[in-house]
């Protein structure tokens, strides 16, 4: 599914979830009424999700007019007006909550990602997302990670191989798992293996691994892994990483840092939409 398709599907589900067979409260208003409204940010954050926001309104009123003052990726101030909307009053009332839900969630993901990206600036490590996303909103949250300056891992189980602890156990070991992955992987599909100690790292390198996930290594272990690998593979740190320690992790010399908190621990950004 591409991003445009994901937006249409996300919005379809969100509107159906909220209004079902119809917005009973909006029927208090005449069907011919029209209105204007403004959306304001209530806190400083990175704006993200404008396409989802617009799609909610356009699904209900194709002729709605939305004028944005900022774009995805811009930093907004508390109290700053983000956009002006004019259209059918009923449609605006019905679309308001789902539209702002998308905006508050995706802006949150973009904002957190930006904080991590800024924290490691100059250290050379890329901030990566994971599959720890809100169900049904993976494409949306991965888009938000990119808006925040991070990078995307595989979209799902279908477009990349990540060999984890249970795969290694079931396959009979690191070498066996990698050998089988190389047989199965189509051209262009990445193969990454997770290791939990330096012995497994050595096995993975000996078996020709080119992308290795270092799971819950401390800073000293990360530095030793970087020294031992000596550029033979890209190394990714993961597990127990937060804003307080991400800089120290980046300075060990790893190439990538994956952080589930970008998408799974979302604290919504506050917005307000008011009619004029």
pLDDT tens track for 72-86: 999 999 999 999 999
Arithmetic mean of pLDDT, 102-119: 98
Confidence of residue 21 (pLDDT cuts 50, 70, 90): confident
The pLDDT score that the predictor gives to residue 184 is 84
Residue 1 has pLDDT above 90, yes or no: no
pLDDT over 70, % of the chain? 100
Domains of the chain: 3-116+266-275 (3.90.1170.20), 123-264 (3.20.20.70)
Q: Report the pLDDT averaged over residues 236-242.
A: 96
Give residue 267's pLDDT band: very low, low, confident or very high (50, 70, 90).
Answer: very high
List the structure tokens of 231.
């550029």
Alpha carbon distance 139, 159 (integer Å): 14
* Percent above pLDDT 90 for the chain: 93
Tell me, yes or no, if 132 is annotated catalytic: yes
| CB crowding 8-38: b at 16 or more within 10 Å, else e | eebbeebbeeebeeebeebeeeeeeeebebb
Q: For residue 185, name the pLDDT band (cuts at 50, 70, 90).
A: confident
Which candidate in 54, 129, 194, 236 is catalytic?
Answer: 194
First to last CA, the chain: 38
Q: Which of 97, 131, 151, 232 is catalytic?
A: 97
Output the pLDDT for position 187: 78
12: annotated active-site residue: no
pTM listed for this prediction: 0.94
For 207-225, what is each residue's pLDDT tens digit? 999 999 999 999 999 999 9
pLDDT value of residue 17: 96
User: Can 215 be counted among the known catalytic residues?
Assistant: yes
Q: Count of residues for the chain? A: 276
Amino acid 218: pLDDT? 96
Computed over every residue of the chain, the mean pLDDT equals 96
* The token pair that represents 74 in the structure block: 């811009």
Q: Which of 132, 151, 247, 264 is catalytic?
A: 132
Which residue is catalytic, options 23, 215, 236, 255?
215
- Which of 146, 151, 164, 232 does the annotation list as catalytic? 164
- The reply to whether 194 belongs to the active site is yes
Q: Of 198, 214, 209, 225, which Cα lies nearest the Cα of 175? A: 209
Q: Please determine, for residue 228, whether its predicted confidence score (pLDDT) is greater than 90.
A: yes
pLDDT band, very low/low/confident/very high, at 261 (cuts 50, 70, 90):
very high
Phi, then psi, of 65 in degrees rounded to 5: -110, 130
Q: What is the mean pLDDT of residues 94-98?
A: 97
Q: What is the pLDDT of residue 188?
A: 78
């Amino acid at each position: 599914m591409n991003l445009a398709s994901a937006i249409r599907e996300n919005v379809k589900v969100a509107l159906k979830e909220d209004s079902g067979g119809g917005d009973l409260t909006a029927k208090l208003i005449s069907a011919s009424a029209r209105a204007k409204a403004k959306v304001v940010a209530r806190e400083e954050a990175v704006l993200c999700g404008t396409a989802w926001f617009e799609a909610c309104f356009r699904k209900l009123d194709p002729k709605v007019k939305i004028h944005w003052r900022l774009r995805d990726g811009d930093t907004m101030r508390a109290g700053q007006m983000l956009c002006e909307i004019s259209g059918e009053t009923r449609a605006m009332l019905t679309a308001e909550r789902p539209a702002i839900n998308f905006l508050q969630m995706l802006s949150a993901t973009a904002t957190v990602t930006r904080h991590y990206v800024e924290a490691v600036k100059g250290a050379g490590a890329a901030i990566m997302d994971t599959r720890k996303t809100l169900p049904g909103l993976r494409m949306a949250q991965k888009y938000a990670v990119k808006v925040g300056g991070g990078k995307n891992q595989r979209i799902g189980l279908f477009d990349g191989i990540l060999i984890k602890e249970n795969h290694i156990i079931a396959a009979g070991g690191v070498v066996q798992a990698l050998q089988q992955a190389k047989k199965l992987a189509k051209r262009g599909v990445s193969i990454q293996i997770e290791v939990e100690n330096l012995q497994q790292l050595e096995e993975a390198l000996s078996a020709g691994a080119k992308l290795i996930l270092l799971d819950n290594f401390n800073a000293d272990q990360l530095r030793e892994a970087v020294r031992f690998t000596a550029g033979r593979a890209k190394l990714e740190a993961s597990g127990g990483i937060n804003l307080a320690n991400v800089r120290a992790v980046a300075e060990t010399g790893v190439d990538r840092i994956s952080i589930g908190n970008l998408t799974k621990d979302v604290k919504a950004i506050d917005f307000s939409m008011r009619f004029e």
